[in-house]
Amino acid sequence: MKVIAAMSGGVDSAVAAARAVEAGHEVVGVHLALSSNPQKYRSGARGCCTIEDSHDARRAADVIGIPFYIWDMAEEFHDGVVENFLSEYAAGRTPNPCLRCNEKIKFAAVLDRARALGFDAVVTGHYAQMRETELGRTMHRAEDPLKDQSYVLAVLNKDQLDGAVFPLGDTHKEEVRKEAKRRGLYVANKPDSHDICFVPSGNNAGWLHDRLGTETGPIVDEDGVKLGEHQGAYTYTIGQRRGLNLTVPAEGGAPRYVLKIEPKSNTVVVGSHEALAVSAIEGEKAIWCGPIPTTATEFRGFAQVRAHGSPLACTYSTDGNSISVTLNEPLFGLATGQGLVIYDGDRVVGSATINATA
C-alpha cells in the first residue's frame, strides 16, 4: 500500500512509521502543523505541536529513510477541535479533544487529503488493533492495557478505519521504546505526551477562564440553597470534589461533589456522593466501528466513558443513531459531552456522545 505516516515527533509514531516501511508499504511521513503560531502551543517534550516536535519528526523520518512533509492543518484544528472544546465547556459539558482530533483531523482531513493524493491509508502510533474476524475488519483493544487507545479511536466509522493502520497495537510501550533505540531513533526516550496539547500551561481552568471569561455564579445544593460562589461554571466537572471552596459545611461533614452544571443560569449544583450514582446512560450521534448491532435488541457488553476508565459491564441497545446503556453496577460522576464507547469483549462496537444520564 501507499500510506501517509502521521508523525508527531514522538516515539510511537516514529516506530509506527518504521514498521510500516518494514511491512513493505510505500511510506511518506507527514507532520501536522496544528497551530499557525507553533510557539503558542505547549513547548518541549510534553506536547505535539511545537517546532522542536516537527524537527524531531523530520529527524525520525530521515533515520527511517522516508520523505517528510509538513501539512498545515491549523485552520481545521482550530475549527474542529479547539472551537468545539470551548463551545462544549461553555455548554456545561466535558469534551475530549483527542476524540475530536481523531475524528475531524487525523482520520478525516488528513485521510481525505491522503486518499486524494493517491494514498491508501494513514498510519499512526495509536495503540489499538485492527483484525480480520468473521465480522470483517474490526478494531480491538491494544495488547498493552496501560496504553490502549481504542477509546479515542472509537469515533472512527468503518470507512475511516479501512483507511487506518495501527502498527503498535500488538506491542507494549516498553518494547516500543526499546525498538526505537534499536532503530537509532533519537526520540526513544522522549516522555509521553499528556494533557491537552493546545493548553500550553497544562492549566485547563486558567486557559478556559482566559477564553470564556469570568462570570461569578452560585454554587447551590440540590434544594437550591446557596453554599458558595464560583468564577465560571464551565471550569467544573461532574464528580469534582476539590476546589469548591464552600462556605456552608454539609451536615455531618460529608464531602460534597459537583452533580450538575447549568450553563444558562451559570449554576453549579453540589450534593452527596450517592447523588452522583448513574445507572442509565444515553448517547447520541452513534458511530459504528464495525457492523451495526441489530436495532431494538438488548446486548451484553461493556461501556467505557473515559479514556483511561475501566470497562463497565452493561446491557445496551440502539436504534442506529443513539445508544442506551444500563450499567450492571452504578457509576459515580459522569458528565454529558464525554464519549461513550461500547465494547464486545475487546472489540470496539461503536461510540456515542453522552447526552443524558440517570
Partner 1 sequence: MGIYFDHAATTPMSQPAIAALNEQISQLGNASSLHTQGRSVRKRVEEARENLARIAGSGPSEFIFTGSGTEANNLAIKGFYWKRIRENSERNLIIISAFEHHAVLDPVEWLESHEGAHVIQVPVSSVGVIDLEALKEIVESNRSRIALIAIMHSNNEVGTIQPIREVVDIAGDIPVHTDAVQSFGKVDFNFDELGVTSATISGHKVGGPLGVAALILQRGIDITPILHGGGQERDIRSGTLNAPAIVSFSAAASAADHDRDVSYREVRELRAYLIESLRNRIPDIQVNGDVLPALPGIANITFPGTESDGLLLLLDAEGIASSTGSACSAGVPQASHVLLAMGISERDARSSLRFSLSRSNTREEIDHLASVIETVVDRARAAHLRH
Residue 69 found at the interface with partner 1 (CB under 8 A)? yes
DSSP string, 228-240: EEES-GGG--TT-
Residue 314 annotated in active site: no
Q: Which is nearer to partner 1, 56 or 148 (CB)?
A: 56
State yes or no: residue 106 binds partner 1 (CB under 8 A).
no
Buried b (16+ CB within 10 A) or exposed e, 327-357: beeebebbbbbbbbbbbbebbbbbbbbbeeb
Binders of partner 1 in range 128-147 (CB under 8 A): none
Classified as helix, coil or strand, 119 is: coil
Rule CB under 8 A: say whether 70 interacts with partner 1: yes
- Least distance in angstroms from the C-beta of 158 to partner 1: 19
Residue 205 binds partner 1, judged by CB under 8 A: no
Stretch that binds partner 1, among 33-41, 94-102, 197-205, 216-224 (CB under 8 A): 33-41
Q: Do the Cβ atoms of 231 and 206 come closer than 8 Å?
A: no
Active site residue 101: yes
Question: Which residue of the set 48, 49, 98, 101 is catalytic?
Answer: 101
Q: Is 51 in the site for partner 1 (CB under 8 A)?
A: yes
- Residue 67 or 206: the one with the smaller Cβ distance to partner 1 is 67
Q: What DSSP designation does 191 have?
A: P
Task: Report which secondary-structure segment, H or E, holds 261.
Answer: strand 257-262
Residues in region 241-280 near partner 1 by CB under 8 A:
none
The answer to whether residue 81 forms part of the interface with partner 1 (CB under 8 A) is no
User: Is there binding between residue 74 and partner 1 (CB under 8 A)?
Assistant: yes
Indicate the DSSP class of residue 219: E
Task: Specify the 3-state DSSP secondary structure of 256.
Answer: coil
Identified binder of partner 1 from the candidate list 11, 14, 21, 54, rule CB under 8 A: 54
Query: Is 117 among the residues that bind partner 1 (CB under 8 A)?
Result: yes
Q: What is the C-alpha separation between 66 and 54, in angstroms, rounded?
A: 15
User: Which of 65, 118, 224, 252 forms a contact with partner 1 (CB under 8 A)?
Assistant: 118
Q: Does 31 bind partner 1 (CB under 8 A)?
A: yes
Cα 338 off chain centre by: 9
Query: What DSSP element (H or E) covers 208?
Result: helix 204-212
**Which of 22, 72, 222, 319 is close enough to bind partner 1 by CB under 8 A?**
72
For 179, the enclosing helix (H) or strand (E) is helix 173-182
Binding partner 1 (rule: CB under 8 A), the pick from 38, 97, 333, 339 is 38
* Burial classification of residue 172, based on how many CB atoms lie within 10 Å of its CB (0-12 exposed, 13-18 middle, 19 or more buried): middle
> Can you point out the beta strands (E) in the chain?
2-6, 26-33, 68-72, 121-123, 129-133, 136-140, 164-165, 217-220, 226-230, 257-262, 267-271, 277-288, 299-304, 312-318, 323-332, 339-344, 347-357
Number of residues that bind partner 1 (CB under 8 A): 22
Q: Which of 46, 59, 63, 71 binds partner 1 (CB under 8 A)?
A: 71
The minimum distance between CB 61 and partner 1, in angstroms, equals 11
Q: Which CA distances in Å does 348 have to 102, 131, 155, 158, 296?
A: 15, 11, 10, 11, 19
Q: By CB under 8 A, is residue 62 in contact with partner 1?
A: no
Q: Interacting stretch for partner 1, rule CB under 8 A, among 47-55, 121-129, 158-166, 339-347?
A: 47-55
Q: Which residues are catalytic?
A: 101, 197
Residues engaged in binding partner 1 (CB under 8 A) = 28, 31, 33, 36, 38, 50-51, 54, 58, 67, 69-72, 74, 109, 112-113, 115-118
